[in-house]
Amino acid sequence: MNRKSDECILRRRGVVWQVLGLLTVALVGLTTAQDDVPKIVNAKAAKLKNPLTSNAATVDAGRELYLTHCASCHGKKGKGDGGQALGGGTPSDLTDAVWDHGSTDGEIYWVIREGIESNADMLAYKKTLSEKETWQIVVFIRSIGPKKKK
């Protein structure tokens, strides 16, 4: 091989490595972007939109309802440490970033209304709470839990 041929091969290899590097950066960026998207567990519920505005009055109303209906299991601060879970289940920590049953407002609403029939022992509150009260609790949970991602 001559010197000119060697330089051409080296230049091509350099371009290939640059392209591979850019692809790697792009894939990492896509993966990171996907991590920012809320995990959809219940597609039907995820489509539900919260009709209430998050403001001090709504958060306070939700807090009162939460303390009455939810704190015995989930704890006053939502850490899952209320101690009254049925059947020895472990209540969800509503302040952490991992939401096993969905993280959209609609999914949270659905879980409160319909409950979860698994080892979570989450009771259904559709006969206890009005739709508005359930949305108020969702607003309160948002105020103590992971922030909604757009």
Q: Which residues of 54-70 are buried (b: 16+ CB within 10 A; e: fewer)?
A: beeebbebbbebbeebb
Phi-psi region of 102 (alpha: psi -120 to 50; beta: other; left: phi over 0): left
Its pTM stands at 0.71
State the pLDDT confidence band at 84, using cuts at 50, 70 and 90: confident
Does position 30 have pLDDT exceeding 60, yes or no? no
Name the more confident of 98 and 64: 64
With pLDDT > 90 as the criterion, what percentage of the chain qualifies?
46
